[in-house]
């Protein structure tokens, strides 16, 4: 059972454009929603995270939007750059328990 559904699986965006990746979850007990960025051959790196008591969190060009009633959250990358080309995983967890990852989105930013 996939508890965190992520879409799209691949995304091509022009340099300077906005990249948007969406995730939906089923378990209402989740209370921590991180996004990880992974480059080929490297481990995932925490990009930004949000808790359900906040509807939006922004860090530089990266913004998480969170809709608790719809059980959805999304990552927006503003002014996308070729260096942002990577695989992005949304995830969810409850307290200290197991982190559940989405399937991943391979982002390609073209010049």
Distances (CA, A) of 62 to 1, 2, 23, 46, 56: 29, 25, 15, 12, 11
Question: Nearer to another protein by C-beta: 31 or 108?
Answer: 31
Site residues for another protein, 51-90, by CB under 8 A, read 89
11 vs 49, which CB is nearer to another protein?
49
Q: How far is the CB of 16 from another protein (least distance, A)?
A: 27
Size of the site for another protein (CB under 8 A): 23
Burial 22-40 (b: 16+ CB within 10 A, else e): bbbbeeeebebbbbbbbee
CA distances to 20, 71, 110 from 79, in Å: 11, 27, 12
Out of 69, 83, 96, 111, point to the residue binding another protein (CB under 8 A). 96
Calpha distance 33→68 (Å, rounded) = 11
Residue 46 lies near another protein (rule: CB under 8 A):
yes
Q: Which range of residues in 12-20, 63-71, 78-86, 93-101 is near another protein by CB under 8 A?
A: 93-101
Q: Which residues bind another protein (CB under 8 A)?
A: 31-32, 34, 36, 41-46, 49, 89, 93, 95-99, 101-104, 106
């Amino acid at each position: 059972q996939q508890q965190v559904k992520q879409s799209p699986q691949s995304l091509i965006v022009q340099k300077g454009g906005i990249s948007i990746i969406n995730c939906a979850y089923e378990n209402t007990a989740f209370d921590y929603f991180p996004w990880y960025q992974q480059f080929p051959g490297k481990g995932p790196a925490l990009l930004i995270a949000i808790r359900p008591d906040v509807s939006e969190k922004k860090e530089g060009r990266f913004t998480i939007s969170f809709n608790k009633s719809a059980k959805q959250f999304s990552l927006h990358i503003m002014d996308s750059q070729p260096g942002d080309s990577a695989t992005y995983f949304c995830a969810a967890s409850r307290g200290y328990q197991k982190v559940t990852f989405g399937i991943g989105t391979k982002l390609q930013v073209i010049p």
